[in-house]
Amino acid sequence: MRIALICAMEEELVAVTEFINLPLVNILEKASNKYFHYQSDNDTIISVVSGIGKVNAAVTTQILLDSFDVEYVINVGVAGSLTPELTFGDVVVANDLVQHDFDITAFGVPLGQIARMDVFGFAADEQLNALIMAGLAIAGQQIQMGRIVSGDQFIDDAAKAKFLNEHFGALACEMEGAAIAHVCYLNQKPFAVVRALSDMAGQSGSGAHSFEELKHMAANRAALVVKNLLENISA
Residues catalogued as catalytic:
12, 199
Q: Distances in Å between the alpha carbon of 127 and those of 56, 79, 120, 132, 229?
A: 27, 23, 21, 9, 11
As a whole number of angstroms, the distance between CA 88 and CA 80 comes to: 9
CB atoms near residue 11 (< 10 Å): 17
Measuring CA to CA, which residue among 144, 101, 96, 139 is closest to residue 121? Answer: 96
DSSP state, residue 22 = S
DSSP state, residue 88 = T
Amino acid (one-letter) located at 149: V
Sign of CA dihedral 56, 61, 62, 67: positive
As a whole number of angstroms, the distance between CA 48 and CA 145 comes to: 24
As a whole number of angstroms, the distance between CA 101 and CA 143 comes to: 26
DSSP 104-171: -GGGTPPTTPPTT-S-SSEEPPHHHHHHHHTT---TT--EEEEEEEE-SS----HHHHHHHHHHH-EE
